[in-house]
Chain A
Amino acid sequence: MQSLTQNLSFLSPLFSQVSESPEPKKIQLKSSFFKNPIFFTSHKSVHSPDKPISTGVFPKNSIFFTSPKCYHNPDKPISRNPRNSSVSCITAHEIPLQPLTVPEKVHCLACEFKSLPEPIDRVKRLLHYATLLPPFDESGRVEENRVKGCTTMVWLQVEMDGNRLMRYKVDSDSEITKGFCSCLIWLFDGAIPEEVLSVKTDDLAEMNVGMPSKGHSRVNTWHNILISIQKKTKNFVEVKDKDRSLTEFPPLVGSTDGFSVYGNYKEAQYMQESRQAGNEVEGPT
């Protein structure tokens, strides 16, 4: 089970103090995000003493600066609709236990960005998340992986693993866009396709840094990448569903010995069409 510190790592940008000492330090969280400030210990120094922190610039390689993680209290009813979600942003009195679903993550992310007081803070938060994006293989930067319609270059690779969970890799030549991508990966990577397809661009409007428009636009990166993710996810689902239907519903063949399953649908179609064309085909008639 993850430590409390790791569980609360998504709160790292809200730290008001950092410590260089290797000794565990108490760190107070100050933010209107919480009802009461909470204290917890750090296990590592949170920034390199060689790298001074300037306003809004977050240090790298800290255990606290991992991908945003949100959890829900299983005692609270959960709604699949992120707008109606009763998942509140974590308070001092709640101990998180289970990973969130995609709609809950969307809500969490929206809370996080909404809590940032200035638009520039959202830019800086995205730049921070850009540093968390896993490296993208150069071989993936091909035209077929490009997300069309963006003013920046975005490459997206989509796969479905053996457990029918979606896996995404994404990259961009723009740091802010990388930040968007990082958030989307956190939302969707490892999710079931139906959850990915359920998210609407309106749900992500709170994260749309500097872009009040929710609609289609060359600079509305959220919209373009989300649409691309969902399109490719849908393609995977359709292909997998088609393959599954072929194996799940093979044709029944009747013979004097009764009915039995033979081949698959495509084979049966081929045999039928060939016989209708007058060709000899092996297999039961």
Chain B
Amino acid sequence: MMMASTTVESAFLKIPSFGFVNPNNATSKLVSRSSVSLRFGFHFRSCATSSASAAEPASASSPSSVVNDGAKLGPGSLGHITRPDFPILHQAVNGSKLVYLDNAATSQKPTAVLEAIQNYYESYNSNVHRGIHYLSARATDEFELARQKVANFINASESREIVFTRNATEAINLVAYSWGLTNLRPEDEIVLTIAEHHSNIVPWQLVAQKTGANLKFLELTEDEVPDVGKLKEMLSKKTKLVAVHHVSNMLASVLPIEEIASWAHDVGAKVLVDACQSVPHMVVDVKKLGLDFLVASSHKMCGPTGIGLLYGKSELLNAMPPFLGGGEMIADVFLDHSTYAEPPSRFEAGTPAIAEAIGLGATIDYLSGIGMERIHDYEVELANYLYNSLRSVPNIRIYGPEPSRVFKRAALCSFNVEDVHPTDVATFLDQQHGVAVRSGHHCAQPLHRYLGINASARASLHFYNTKEDVDDFIRALTDTISFFTSFK
């Protein structure tokens, strides 16, 4: 299930692939923190609920690097090097150092991105695609440059295959209403999994109601991953769309998208992938995966909120009717009818989120400067460390597969503590220890219902997290459990 090691670099900025700090500087500097003392202040105890098989560390070969390979999680790790780029991480919350472990909800933004947005507003803020004056021309150039960067980042054929939306949710709704209402007929089938985010369920419910199509949901195996073996059996000539996540925001499991896309195409179905939890963390190549549609959110990949992306194959986008009507998406407007622009403009009605798009472009520069392969390799190590550390805490139930050579986990763990509500856990972690985790259903209520729970807590990491963050989290969680146990 590992992604192929295709490197996608920005064509517009060539920089060393390690120790990168700020791609917008004329000279890129290698910044490394002074050695960080490793803390081993807590004691691992066997977990009463741990499963029998021992997890093997997931290892992925990583490109050699002058400074940081070897002790991947030790001093000088990617997390230590990049942390100075994220000003928000250096603060205290409720009297404790902030430990931010809610990256699956939204990621933090590096200074480079913040500066790009500020620079836009300070230097050339102007509406795009409209004016002929200098500011407008520059804004338009930067906006379209950002679109090209996104296209390169996911290896799309051309920038016109990238539609900027407000977020991934809007992107899925765009496909549902524009492609779906045109192409779905009664008795047609849309295949999803029960582990989908609500944004990849509800739009299809709405469109299925209008068209008479049916939704089919793939369930989980005993390892708590979507049963890919059964997925192939679910596909038939009736299947018109397979809409699945790449990485589960709750289970941390990774689907074999390339295989799934191949099966779907064999029966004539299209494939839409929710890549919100994969694009920020690994190389995603839409051509290699054979995707028809892909959606992602900027704010989960160190970019600004308010902008997301839809990738769609040219021939599909060209055939799709508009989603929203207004300015920009038209060619000519008459009183009784209008003609429409070509994609992507056809799907970008109104003034777009210009600053945000430019910020997303800067984000891609930053991530490309580090290298998505390097980010992925580091996060695999961190994911295993998080899982093994959490598993050693008594009375913890972690959801999703155990990491192994077969199952790779993303760097997140959803879990529950026996007899303590996850919201109570998260509140105490925040109030007493400054540790930020998520509690609730993570926009995956069907999955929670399937697992027989109402809610769970979730710790999710990104490349700027460190081993010490995990240690602090485990220490805080142990104290939290001890508090509630003694309270009862």
Contacts and interface: CB of A to CB of B under 8 A. Distances in A.
Interface string B208-226: 0000000000000000000
A58 to B, nearest CB: 9
Contacts of A127: 487
Nearest to A177: B423
Interface string B407-432: 00000000000001101100110111
Contacts of B428: 120, 123
6 contacts: A118-B95, A119-B431, A120-B94, A151-B439, A152-B423, A209-B431
Where chain B touches its partner, the secondary structure class is helix
Contacts of A210: 94, 427, 430-431
Nearest to B455: A151
Given A57-B486, A57-B487, A173-B454, A151 B431 contact: no
Contact of A175 (B424, B430, B440, B455): B424
A14 to B, nearest CB: 19
Interface string B115-132: 000000000000000000
Contacts of B430: 210
Nearest to A131: B487
Main secondary structure of the interface of A (DSSP, over half): loop
Contacts of A123: 427-428, 431-432
A152 B427 contact: no
Contacts, number: 54
Contacts of A175: 420-421, 424, 484, 487
Interface in A85-132: 118-120, 122-123, 127
Interface string A44-80: 0000000000100100000000000000000000000
A31 interface: no
Contacts of B439: 151, 219
B195 to A, nearest CB: 19
Contact of B441 (A54, A151, A173, A176): A151
A213 interface: no
Interface in A16-46: none
A176 B486 contact: no
Nearest to A54: B486
Contacts of A54: 486
A176 B427 contact: yes
Contacts of A219: 423, 439-440
A176 B484 CA distance: 11
A153 B424 CA distance: 12
A271 B439 CA distance: 58
Contacts of B441: 151
A57 B441 CA distance: 30
A149 to B, nearest CB: 11
Contacts of A57: 483, 486-487
Nearest to B488: A175
